[in-house]
């Protein structure tokens, strides 16, 4: 579904942050991108999403070349949903208005049907749909931004640190919701995360980045059980059994 | 005194139209344009050039709007590469370059002397011509206000506000920010040029002194004092500021102050008014009504 080959990217005239990264992700799969701060995780996701144009390499979605396609066109024409890390809701709009922003291209009846389905799926939002999004907690905002991305029925979902700034309880709720999306909707989910153990708990595969390159790729379950990996990249001592 | 009131109200109406133009850019879309006066100047010089070339005076309007549209698109194009604050500085610089070029060009613009002798609207209706012009300006202001209201309450108006509030998030929802910027600049430039066209045929004179940057900041003070992103508010701000500045000489006479007081007091009204409102009432006299998918 997502195929990125030999991606080199950076900001402005600065040095390359990504120095030749290749990755892939399929339908019904959660692929997580892990690594220490500054390794290029978010830049990679932004490049795949279309915020940053790669300096070299290619990106395809379902076989279609989207290397130079900006984010707004990917969302409108390539069935992509993107959930940013922070500033992910419009605080002055209500919960319902926020969600419906993601459904601008749908017919009215389809929009209403999907909105009702999302309200059933996320009862915490249903109870607050007329409230301003600025009144929601961090976890509720993250769920709201997920729901907004889902209403258009994307085939690819890009998540930038969905657990950023959340309490452990809320983090579990958000990860449960992401896992449920993969299982029920069957979409391809690419997720950048800092909380490696939580992310590996729901992911199918993972790429571990270091200094703008892929240092390791493996099944999530294998990475979780690899003591060397835990020590090197995942803060293994903390969670060692 | 009545004629003076008519005069001040006429100018306030035209500034009100300009304030609505700036409000579309800065208030609703977050485009901090410090070069608005150059768009206004396209309208004034459009009128002057049409008159100077012997065209029908009304042809000055499309000429001015066409020039303003080109300049507005150039501003919008710059916005693709520059962040908000740098874009604001760039627009200020371009407006100054245009003013200095006009000052130093003689054949087309008349240089520092400007172009005079433009036809005065409704000149044949004396002694009621002033009231007729004011009536026209009120109608124009009302129509522009109505247009702006409909625009900002439309789906496109919502996209303008989303761009202002969270531009990166708006992009992730499929909004093309370059297109929004282009459309807003085109529409607001046409409105500013329209105000300039009417202004030129009101004063019957056009010159580069009308395009100095303090004029831009006067319009900014009207928007900030009236209420950013509130169309009714910015019109109120235009009238408040215009009348406050116009009546300064009367206060000077009443208090027997020196003539220098007038210029200084006007600067204080603009600068002090801006500062006071930014510090103590940043949302202006009529704050924006936030929220709502209908664009309010």
Q: What are the structural domains, with CATH classification, of chain A?
A: 2-88+152-239 (3.40.50.300)
Please answer whether residues B189 and B42 qualify as being in contact, where contact means their C-beta atoms are separated by less than 8 angstroms. Answer: yes
Number of separate domains in chain B: 1
Q: Each residue of A211-229: pLDDT tens digit? A: 889 988 989 988 888 776 7
Q: Each residue of A176-210: pLDDT tens digit? A: 889 888 888 789 999 999 888 888 989 999 999 98
The arithmetic mean of pLDDT across residues A84-102, rounded, is: 91
Q: Has residue B154 been placed in a domain?
A: yes
In chain A, the residue whose alpha carbon lies closest to the alpha carbon of B169 is A88
Q: Has residue B116 been placed in a domain?
A: yes
Running DSSP on this structure, what letter comes out for residue B120? P
B165 touches A at CB < 8 Å: yes
**Res B294: pLDDT:** 44
- Between chains, do B291 and A94 touch, taking CB under 8 Å as contact? yes
> What angle, 0 to 180 degrees and rounded to 10, lies between the N-to-C axes of helices B177-203 and B60-81?
140
B83 touches A at CB < 8 Å: no
Q: Has residue B268 been placed in a domain?
A: no
Nearest to A133 by CA among A181, A161, A179, A100: A100
Structural Rg of chain A based on CA atoms:
18
Minimum mean pLDDT range among A126-130, A134-138, A235-239, B3-7 = A235-239
ipTM of the shown complex: 0.87
Q: Has residue B279 been placed in a domain?
A: no
- Low-confidence residues of chain B: pLDDT under 70: 291-296
**Res A58: pLDDT:** 95
- Between chains, do A84 and B292 touch, taking CB under 8 Å as contact? no
Which tokens sit at A125?
């939002």
**Res B265: pLDDT:** 85
Q: Has residue B251 been placed in a domain?
A: no
pLDDT-based confidence at residue A235 (cuts at 50, 70, 90): low
B258 touches A at CB < 8 Å: no
Q: Has residue B138 been placed in a domain?
A: yes
Q: Has residue B33 been placed in a domain?
A: yes
**Res A233: pLDDT:** 61
Residues in chain A with CB shorter than 8 Å from the CB of B293 are: 93, 97, 100-101
d(CA B49, CA B127): 28
d(CA A114, CA A120): 10
Q: What separation in angstroms does the CA of B69 have from each of B7, B23, B33, B99, B182?
A: 29, 17, 15, 17, 10
Residues in chain B with CB shorter than 8 Å from the CB of A71 are: 171-172
Q: Which domain holds residue B38?
A: 2-209
pLDDT-based confidence at residue A36 (cuts at 50, 70, 90): confident
Q: Closest CB to A75: pick one of B162, B174, B290.
A: B174
Taking CB atoms and an 8 Å cut-off, how many pairs form between chains A and B?
A: 56
Asked whether the predicted pLDDT for residue A232 surpasses 80, the reply is no
**Res B291: pLDDT:** 64
Residue A168 burial by CB count (10 A; 0-12/13-18/19+): exposed, middle or buried?
exposed
Q: Has residue B296 been placed in a domain?
A: no
Q: Closest CB to A87: pick one of B169, B177, B293.
A: B169
**Res B81: pLDDT:** 83
* Local structure of A32: helix, strand or coil: strand
């Amino acid at each position: 579904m997502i195929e990125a080959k030999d991606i080199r990217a950076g900001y402005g005239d600065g040095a390359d942050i990504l120095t030749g990264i290749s990755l892939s992700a399929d339908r019904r799969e959660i692929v997580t991108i892990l690594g220490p701060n500054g390794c290029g995780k978010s830049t990679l996701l932004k490049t795949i999403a279309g915020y940053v144009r790669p300096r070299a390499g290619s990106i395809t979605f379902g076989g279609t070349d989207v290397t130079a396609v900006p984010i707004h066109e990917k969302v409108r024409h390539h069935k992509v949903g993107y959930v940013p890390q922070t500033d992910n809701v419009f605080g002055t709009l209500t919960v319902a208005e926020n969600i419906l922003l993601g459904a601008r291209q749908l017919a009215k009846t389809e929009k209403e049907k999907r909105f009702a389905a999302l309200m059933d799926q996320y009862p915490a939002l249903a109870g607050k749909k007329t409230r301003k999004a600025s009144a929601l907690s961090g976890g509720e905002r993250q769920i709201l931004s997920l729901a907004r991305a889902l209403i258009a029925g994307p085939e690819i979902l890009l998540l930038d640190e969905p657990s950023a700034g959340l309490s452990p309880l809320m983090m579990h709720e958000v990860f449960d919701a992401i896992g449920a999306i993969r299982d029920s909707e069957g979409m391809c989910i690419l997720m950048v995360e800092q909380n490696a153990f939580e992310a590996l708990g729901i992911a199918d595969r993972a790429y571990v980045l270091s200094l703008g390159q892929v240092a390791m790729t493996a099944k999530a379950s294998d990475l979780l059980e690899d003591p060397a990996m835990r020590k090197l990249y995942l803060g293994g001592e903390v969670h060692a059994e | 005194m009545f004629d003076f009131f008519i005069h001040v109200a006429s100018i306030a109406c035209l500034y009100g139209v300009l304030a609505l133009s700036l409000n579309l850019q800065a208030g609703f879309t977050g485009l901090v344009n410090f070069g608005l006066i150059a768009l206004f100047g396209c309208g004034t010089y459009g009128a002057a050039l049409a008159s100077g070339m012997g065209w029908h005076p009304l042809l000055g309007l499309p000429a001015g709007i066409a020039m303003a549209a080109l300049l507005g698109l150039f501003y919008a194009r710059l916005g693709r590469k520059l962040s908000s604050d740098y874009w604001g500085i760039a627009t200020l610089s371009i407006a100054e370059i245009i003013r200095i070029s006009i000052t130093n060009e003689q054949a087309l613009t008349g240089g520092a002397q400007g172009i005079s002798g433009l036809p005065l609207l409704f000149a044949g209706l004396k002694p009621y011509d002033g009231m007729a012009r004011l009536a026209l300006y009120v109608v124009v202001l009302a129509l522009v206000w109505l247009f702006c209201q409909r625009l900002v309450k439309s789906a496109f108006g919502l996209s303008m506000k989303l761009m202002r509030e969270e531009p990166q998030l708006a992009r992730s929802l499929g909004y093309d920010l370059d297109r929004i910027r282009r459309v807003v600049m085109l529409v607001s430039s046409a409105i500013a040029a329209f105000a300039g066209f009417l202004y030129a045929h009101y004063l019957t004179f056009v010159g580069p002194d009308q395009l100095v940057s303090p004029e831009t900041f006067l319009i900014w003070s009207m928007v900030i004092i009236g209420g950013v992103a509130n169309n009714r508010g910015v019109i109120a701000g235009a009238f408040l500021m215009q009348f406050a500045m116009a009546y300064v000489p009367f206060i000077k006479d009443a208090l027997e102050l020196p003539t220098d007081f007038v210029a200084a007091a006007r600067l204080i009204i603009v600068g002090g008014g801006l500062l006071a409102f930014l510090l103590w009432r940043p949302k202006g006299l009529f704050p924006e009504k936030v929220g709502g998918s209908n664009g309010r």
